[in-house]
Amino acid sequence: MGVKTPKVLHLVSGWEAAELVFKCIFVGLWQLIQITVKRLWKGHRRKSLKNPPSVELTVDSSVGTHCYIKVLGVKYHYVESGPKSGKKLLILGDAPDKGNLWGPTWSRVVRRLTENGYHVVTLDLRGNGGSEGGNRRALSPPRVVEELATLMVALGVSKDQPAVVIGFGIGGMLTWYLSHCYGVFISKLIVVGAPHPNLYWQSPPAAFCKSALHFIQWPHFPEKWLAEGELQGSDNKRWSSSRACDWEGALNYVRGAAWWRIKPGHRISPPALLIGSRESATQLVSSAQYCVTSSLRLIPKPDPSDPELPALVLDFLVAEEKCPDSEPRGLVGRMLGAVAGRGRELTAKLVLPPQA
């Protein structure tokens, strides 16, 4: 692609890898037993879809133009909106696809961005929507990052014309990897509801695996039981019509990420907006240490349906640039509390100095 990037992705190896395998087997086995007992205690009844959907992808031309592209032999589906000559903005949704990227809250954001000259590309992650799936090796961070960077170049992104990247959930996790490996292609990034990948085991990358992260590494059963509502907890209603195949892409992203780390001390240089729930302030501060410059924001529900999200995104991307602080900051920096209009709660702007 004409751009050389430092080798910042490190495969877990040696004793750490052996310890990880051990935990995934035995801790995963304990989690498996707990879930099995829970199913038996509640009197499990296998869920079935009497009328499975006959159409996998519903094409709604009102949200934009539906396109397909083959990247390194893999077919991706995306929806583009706004002028093609505008500044590129890539959106990586969560997995499995919840459909809320097309809800009224986030659609309003996309409309405002296109009105301000952005060419918005909303990409289906592999195994979601119209994009091709893949096994855990095909969805490992090095391969996924290479595919995403190649796709960005095909869409007109370059070192001289970088793009904005917005990621939600698992898409946010991939945004972290992409920013570390191909930061030259990114002018700004927004990560919603996704801690830094190096915090993977302390802060799981997706809500559905918080209580069964080691069990997720097992084959077959996690997809099957997620589709039957055994691992979702309070979010069960959102996935009442899901199938095992709907979870393969999401779980293989999660499985692959468990074995890769970002090089210690490597920090991304593009300005970053990190958005999380009000219970995840500690995770945000820890994640911000991997950024040269970052802003932290807390909202009730960090996903595209949150009514407080549009103002945060538009302020970061569209509002006039504010004068930077002249005083130097420490490692974590000074956090300033502010209450903005529309009842949204904002945390401090965090500015971290580049490493010596």
Q: Flag whether 80 is in a domain.
A: yes
**54 occurs within a structural domain:** no
State the residue range of the domain holding 90. Answer: 62-316
What is the model's pLDDT at position 346? Answer: 37
Q: What is the pLDDT of residue 347?
A: 37
Number of domains, the chain: 1
The pLDDT value recorded for residue 345 is 40
Compute the 3-state secondary structure of the chain and give helix, strand, coil in percent, each to the nearest 5.
35, 20, 45
Return d(Cα 137, Cα 143) in angstroms, integer: 8
Residue 63 has a pLDDT of: 77
Residue 180 backbone phi and psi in degrees, to 5? -70, -40
What pLDDT score was predicted for residue 231? 66
**pTM summary value:** 0.84
pLDDT in tens, 22-31: 999 999 999 8
Question: Could you tell me if residue 169 is inside a domain?
Answer: yes
Q: Is the pLDDT of residue 343 over 50?
A: no
What is the pLDDT at residue 7? 85
More confident residue, 137 or 232: 137
More confident residue, 204 or 89: 89
Is residue 220 a part of any domain in this protein? yes
- The answer to whether residue 119 is domain-embedded is yes
pLDDT tens column, 133-191: 999 999 999 999 999 999 999 999 999 999 999 999 999 999 999 999 999 999 999 99
CA distances in angstroms from 304 to 97, 104, 244, 343, listed in the order given: 11, 9, 24, 17
More confident residue, 2 or 43: 43
What single-letter DSSP state applies at residue 57? Answer: S
Tell me whether residue 321 is in a domain.
Answer: no
Q: What is the CATH classification number for the domain harbouring 258?
A: 3.40.50.1820
Asked if residue 351 has pLDDT above 50, the reply is no
At 300, which amino acid appears? P
The verdict on residue 307 lying in a domain is: yes
Mean pLDDT of all residues belonging to the chain: 83
- Residue 150 in any domain: the answer is yes
CA-CA-CA-CA torsion for 352, 334, 345, 201, nearest 10 degrees?
Answer: 50
Q: What is the mean predicted confidence (pLDDT) over 87-107?
A: 91
**Rounded CA gap, 271 and 188, in Å?**
5
